[in-house]
A = this chain, B = another copy of it.
Amino acid sequence: MTEDEKYKSEGRAAILKAISHPSRIFIVDKLNEKPYCVCELAEMIGIDQSTTSKHLSILKNAGIIDDTKKGTTVYYSLRCKCLLDFIGCIENVIRMNIDRNKKYMGVGNN
């Protein structure tokens, strides 16, 4: 890899990595509906508030979400709607994987 390619790949990986966690994917998916605050997300996910806050700061540092304060409450929102289309692509891979498994297991061929 040239320096340029390395830099580019690292940048892309950093963003992907930020989303690559069950709780964070869930957050991105939820924020597509509307903004939510930390405690709402923590409640929905079922993990500690502090852990949720850390997840949100990872997404924020990656430039994936934005935050707005209202009193002591911080609302997070999606910064880039295209992220949803791309989840569609991931779903596509999942569907392909399921089909393949079915084929290997002979489901639908008996």
Interface residues, chain A, CB within 8 Å of chain B? Answer: 1, 5-6, 9-13, 15-17, 19-26, 29, 44-46, 62-64, 79-80, 82-83, 85-94, 96-97, 100
Report the copy number of this chain in the oligomer. Answer: 2
Contact partner of A83 (CB less than 8 A), chosen from B24, B63, B89, B97, is: B89
CB–CB B45/A1 < 8 A: yes
CB–CB B90/A12 < 8 A: yes
Given contacts A1-B46, A62-B93, 17 further A-B contacts (CB under 8 A): A1-B44, A6-B22, A9-B29, A10-B22, A12-B25, A12-B87, A13-B21, A13-B22, A16-B19, A16-B25, A16-B90, A17-B17, A17-B20, A17-B21, A19-B20, A63-B94, A86-B89
